[in-house]
Structure 1
Amino acid sequence: MDVDQILSGLYSEAGRQDPYPWYAALHEHGPISTIPNRPEHSTVSAVAVGYDLVDQVLRDPEWYKQAPPGWQDQEILRTFQSSMMFVNPPDHGRMRGVFARTFTPRRLGALEPVIVRVVDTLLDRMADAGADGGEVDFVADFAYPVPALVMAEFIGLPESELAWYRQRVDWIDEFLDVAGKTPQRLALANQAAEELRAWYRDLIAHRRNHPGEDLISGLVEALDSGDVDLTEEELISNLIVLFNASFVTTVYMFSNGLPVLLAHPDTVAALPGDEPLAQGCVDEVLRLESPVHFLARAAPRDTVLGGVPVARDENVLLIIAGANRDPHRFPEPERFDPRRDGPPSLAFGVGPHFCLGSAVSRLEGRIGLPRLFARFPRLAVSQPADYSGSLFLRGIDKLFVNTGG
Structure 2
Amino acid sequence: MDAAEALTLLMSPQGRVDPYPTYERLREHGPVVQALPGLYVVTGYAEADELLRDPRLGVLDDALRDQVWPNWRESPAVSSIARSMLRTNPPDHSRMRRLAAGAFSPRRIAGMRDVVRAQAEELLDGMRDRAGDGAPVDVLADFAYPLPVGVICALLGVPATDRPLFRRWAGDLTGVLEPEITVEELAVADAGAAELRAYFAELVAARRRTPADDLTTALVQVHDTDGERLTGDELLANLVVLLVAGFETTTNLLGNGLVVLLRHPGAAAALRADPGLAPAYVEELLRYDSPVQLTTRTTTAPVRCGGLDLPAGSTALLLLGAANRDPRRFPDPQRFDPTRDQAHPLSFGAGPHYCLGAGLARLEAQLAFPLLLRRLPELALAGTPRHRTRLTLRGYQTLPVTLGTPAVADRGTPAGAHPGTP
- The TM-score, its normalising length taken from structure 1, stands at 0.93
- Residue identity matched to 1:356: L
Please give the residue correspondences for 1:3-402 in structure 2 after superposition, counting only pairs within 5 Å: 3-35=3-35, 38=36, 44-67=38-61, 68=65, 69-70=69-70, 71-179=72-180, 181-226=181-226, 229-272=229-272, 274-402=274-402
- Residue identity matched to 2:310: V
SS of the residue corresponding to residue 87 of structure 2 reads coil
- Residue identity matched to 1:72: R
Deviation at 1:343, TM superposition (A): 4.6
Deviation at 1:292, TM superposition (A): 1.0
CA contact (8 A) 1:246 1:358 kept: no
Deviation at 1:104, TM superposition (A): 2.1
CA contact (8 A) 1:44 1:317 kept: no
Aligned length: 398
Residue-by-residue CA offset, 1:237-269 (whole Å, 9 max, x unaligned): 111112111211101101111121112223322
The whole-number CA distance in structure 2 between the counterparts of 1:175 and 1:130 is 36
Residue-by-residue CA offset, 1:102-129 (whole Å, 9 max, x unaligned): 2223321332222112111110111112
The whole-number CA distance in structure 2 between the counterparts of 1:259 and 1:188 is 29
The whole-number CA distance in structure 1 between the counterparts of 2:300 and 2:82 is 19
Deviation at 1:94, TM superposition (A): 0.7
Deviation at 1:299, TM superposition (A): 1.2
Deviation at 1:349, TM superposition (A): 0.4
Residue-by-residue CA offset, 1:104-163 (whole Å, 9 max, x unaligned): 233213322221121111101111122232101111111111111111111111222223
Residue-by-residue CA offset, 1:340-378 (whole Å, 9 max, x unaligned): 115500000010000001111100001111111111011
CA contact (8 A) 2:272 2:370 kept: yes
User: Structure 1 vs Structure 2: percent identity of aligned residues?
Assistant: 40
Deviation at 1:227, TM superposition (A): 10
The whole-number CA distance in structure 2 between the counterparts of 1:297 and 1:260 is 30
Residue-by-residue CA offset, 1:249-303 (whole Å, 9 max, x unaligned): 1011011111211122233223247344111111111111011111111111233
The whole-number CA distance in structure 2 between the counterparts of 1:273 and 1:112 is 20
SS of the residue corresponding to residue 290 of structure 2 reads coil
Deviation at 1:185, TM superposition (A): 2.1
CA contact (8 A) 2:223 2:230 kept: yes
CA contact (8 A) 2:103 2:155 kept: no
2:418 corresponds in structure 1 to: none
- The TM-score, its normalising length taken from structure 2, stands at 0.90
- Residue identity matched to 2:231: T
Deviation at 1:328, TM superposition (A): 0.3
Residue-by-residue CA offset, 1:20-44 (whole Å, 9 max, x unaligned): 1111122222111111xx3xxxx75
SS of the residue corresponding to residue 392 of structure 1 reads coil
Deviation at 1:228, TM superposition (A): 8.2
The whole-number CA distance in structure 2 between the counterparts of 1:393 and 1:227 is 33
SS of the residue corresponding to residue 88 of structure 1 reads coil
The whole-number CA distance in structure 1 between the counterparts of 2:271 and 2:280 is 10
SS of the residue corresponding to residue 112 of structure 2 reads helix
CA contact (8 A) 1:176 1:392 kept: yes
CA contact (8 A) 2:386 2:397 kept: yes
Provide the aligned C-alpha RMSD in A. 1.8
CA contact (8 A) 1:139 1:255 kept: yes
Deviation at 1:86, TM superposition (A): 0.2
SS of the residue corresponding to residue 179 of structure 2 reads coil
The whole-number CA distance in structure 2 between the counterparts of 1:300 and 1:228 is 26
CA contact (8 A) 1:381 1:401 kept: yes
The whole-number CA distance in structure 1 between the counterparts of 2:257 and 2:20 is 16
Residue-by-residue CA offset, 1:77-117 (whole Å, 9 max, x unaligned): 22222111100111111111111122223321332222112
Listed as ranges, the gaps of 5+ residues in structure 1 are: none
- Larger CA deviation: 89-98 vs 5-14: 5-14
- Residue identity matched to 2:283: D
The whole-number CA distance in structure 2 between the counterparts of 1:229 and 1:316 is 30
The whole-number CA distance in structure 1 between the counterparts of 2:82 and 2:162 is 26
- Larger CA deviation: 284-293 vs 270-279: 270-279
CA contact (8 A) 2:326 2:333 kept: yes
The whole-number CA distance in structure 1 between the counterparts of 2:6 and 2:185 is 26
The whole-number CA distance in structure 1 between the counterparts of 2:251 and 2:219 is 26
Deviation at 1:167, TM superposition (A): 1.9
CA contact (8 A) 1:6 1:26 kept: yes
CA contact (8 A) 1:177 1:392 kept: yes
- Larger CA deviation: 181-190 vs 344-353: 181-190
CA contact (8 A) 2:283 2:343 kept: no
Residue 60 and residue 152 in structure 1: after superposition, are their counterparts in 2 closer, same or farther (change >3 A)? same
SS of the residue corresponding to residue 102 of structure 1 reads helix
- Larger CA deviation: 68-77 vs 151-160: 68-77
